[in-house]
Amino acid sequence: MAKISPGKMRSLLKVYFIAGSTNCLEDPRVVLEEAIRGGITLFQYREKGEGCLDDHEKLELGKRLQRICRDNGIPFIVNDDIELALELNADGVHIGQEDEDASLVREQIGDKILGVSVHSLKEAEKAKLAGADYFGVGPIFPTETKKDTRDVRGTALIEELKDFEVPIVGIGGITAENASLVMEAGADGVSVITAISQADDVREAAAKLRGKIIHKWRVK
């Protein structure tokens, strides 16, 4: 697989759904299927938080969610766990600043998609040099999902990173109501956990978010 082009990456980032078993109100497989029906463009398997699955169970759920993504043409990204990503032959990996060094991860994953969370211009420069395919920027708005986040920064960093030529996705407290602010600041897409995984109607929530994005920023 050749390295993803920035244009293709930008189109995949539009409605980026992130979830693991602890985020979902029902079977994560059902949630993912419904989210796909609603029009998500990319999925990240993030098995974290109190009561999350480990080892074999984490691998098994990953396989099942990856199968659903494959059957529906949605690329499957693994959060943090490089070993799991390689074992599953996932489409990519997303890492934070507390995880392994991005250059080392790039060496291990070859041409797979590499997403890196950045919180400053300096971190962004380093991630770009390491070969990041996209930046995750956040938390944009307050979030209950991740307790150890950096300070809420609004869209300021997205605006600063606009001319970096690396696709950008916003994260943290994003909903259908505030997604336009993230896009207007210059992001290529929005990534959400709660807005989709905890919705009464997952499909409708994903479709509503997609509707806000493609209203102005058409998915290619």
96 interacts with Mg ion by CB under 5 A: yes
For residue 84, list its beta bridge partners: none
Closer to Mg ion by Cβ: residue 39 or 139: 139
Write the CA distances from 182 to 51, 168, 171, 185, 190, integer angstroms: 31, 10, 9, 5, 7
Q: Is 197 a catalytic residue?
A: no
3-state secondary structure 134-156: EEEECCCCCCCCCCCCCCCCCCH
Interface with Mg ion (CB under 5 A), residue from 34, 47, 80, 91: 80
Check 10, 21, 112, 117 and give the catalytic one.
117
Q: What CA–CA distance (Å, rounded) separates 95 from 118?
A: 10
Judging by beta carbons within 10 Å of its beta carbon (0-12, 13-18, 19+), is residue 181 exposed, middle or buried? middle
> Of Mg ion, ligand TZP, none, which one sits near residue 194, judging by CB under 5 to 8 A according to partner kind?
ligand TZP
> Of ligand TZP, Mg ion, none, which one sits near residue 99, judging by CB under 5 to 8 A according to partner kind?
Mg ion
Q: Please, what's the largest Cα pairwise distance for the chain?
A: 43
> Of Mg ion, ligand TZP, none, which one sits near residue 182, judging by CB under 5 to 8 A according to partner kind?
none
Query: End-to-end alpha-carbon separation of the chain, Å?
Result: 21
> Binders of ligand TZP among 83-122, rule CB under 6 A?
none
| CB 149, min distance to ligand TZP, A | 5
149 interacts with ligand TZP by CB under 6 A: yes
- Active-site annotation, residues: 46, 117, 146
Q: Which parts are annotated binding residues?
A: 44-48, 79-80, 99, 117, 143-146, 173, 193-194
